[in-house]
Amino acid sequence: MTGPVQDAKGCFPQAFRAELDLLMKLRRDVRRFRTDPVDEAVLTRCLSAVSLAPSVGLSEPWRIIRVDSDAARAAALKNFEAANAEALADYSEDRAATYARLKLSGMREAPVQIAFFCDDETEKGHGLGARTMPEMRRYSVVTAITLFWLSLRAEGLGLGWVSVLDPDQMARDLNVPQSWSLIGYFCIGHPERLSDTPELEQEGWEQRFAALPIETR
């Protein structure tokens, strides 16, 4: 095993922990991409992080579609634009004006686009941990996405999660099995700039909690 040496208690060095903290702070939801191509070896390396993620019952329910064709990308963009117009219509006055200013997708610029699905009916894992909470399979996919996201950031790449979409239409357009549920559509590429502040906060859409809210029972 290579990498930072852990102590007897399994604790990593302080310098490593500081860098991990910085990585998490700079893990932004990117909307503004350069059009430079992404090195395939780097992308493959980042995608390999998915296999390191925990999954309920070791079910590994993630299903990944690389969206490369012009037709598939055009359908995805059309989906976003329709959903975005509907969302804008739900707001009024100042909030509508702010929403209209937001850039909520990098689909026109990002060189790599990937859709993550969850196989809700996978037999792998034999249902362990998912009988009473089947949504655990979808949570497992989210943990895999998080590792992928951090790996991309460590390689100087950015990821943008496009959630303003009709998931059922996306599943039809990408021709996936009915048992697959869309978890996220992702734009990937080199970000125009780096920041430790969410763009939605910069644009005045919302503010983060000043402190983590925790309740006790």
Each residue's pLDDT, cut to its tens digit, for the chain (217 residues) gives 566 778 878 899 999 999 999 999 999 999 999 999 999 999 999 999 999 999 999 999 999 999 999 999 999 999 999 999 999 999 999 999 999 999 999 999 999 999 999 999 999 999 999 999 999 999 999 999 999 999 999 999 999 999 999 999 999 999 999 999 999 999 999 999 988 999 999 999 999 999 999 999 9
SS3 state of residue 186: strand
How far is residue 127's CA from residue 52's CA, in Å, rounded to a whole number? 20
pTM attached to this predicted model: 0.94
Beta strands in the chain (DSSP E): 62-66, 112-119, 158-162, 180-189
Burial of 89 (0-12, 13-18, 19+ CB in 10 A): exposed
SS3 state of residue 25: helix
The two three-digit tokens of residue 53, written as one number: 């993620």
